[in-house]
Amino acid sequence: MRTILIILLIIAALLTSCRARQMVPADYPEPPPDEQIAEMPEEPVEPEEIPVVEESFEFEREDDEIDHKVNRFFVILGSFRVSENAAKFKAELEEKGFDPVILLSETGFNRVCVDSFSEEAEARQRVMQIRRSYPEYYDAWLLIRRDM
């Protein structure tokens, strides 16, 4: 009986001295702001499903507004809180042959748009074409301009 008690005490001591996971201190620094922030649902997007967000926004550049002002449907490949990160992503997309523009959303995000359309069906077709041709942009989505 005494042997069993000693074994149980040893096991209890071992279990209490080991931690299954490490706690993160409250003052732990935030990760660097160079990660893409996805505002869309975290679950995998089925190829046929295209997330849609409707919101107001402004164009970062006046020239972009002139080129896209008549369109209501915008194909979004990235969304960032930090404008420098959106600019970096825009440059990456330009290297791949896209002609991206940055939209300043009412929610504070910098949306990186690669195409715009006046018709929703055309915009959806473009999203699907991008997903097929560029698997890394499987989470491309559609932004509908609210203020038109």
For 35-72, the pLDDT digits (tens) are 555 454 444 444 568 999 999 999 998 888 888 889 99
**Does some domain include residue 130?**
yes
d(CA 127, CA 142): 8
Residue with the two structure tokens 């330009």: 94
* In a domain? residue 110: yes
> Quick one: residue 94, left, alpha or beta (phi over 0 = left, psi -120 to 50 = alpha)?
alpha
Per the structure, how many domains does the chain have? 1
Asked if the structure places residue 85 within a domain, the reply is yes
pLDDT in tens, 83-137: 999 999 999 999 999 999 999 999 999 999 999 999 999 999 999 999 999 999 9
Distance, CA of 11 to chain centre: 46
**17 occurs within a structural domain:** no
Note whether residue 86 is domain-resident: yes
Q: What is the pTM of this model?
A: 0.68
- Specify if 92 maps to a domain: yes
CATH of the domain at 92: 3.30.70.1070
What range does the domain containing 65 cover? 60-145
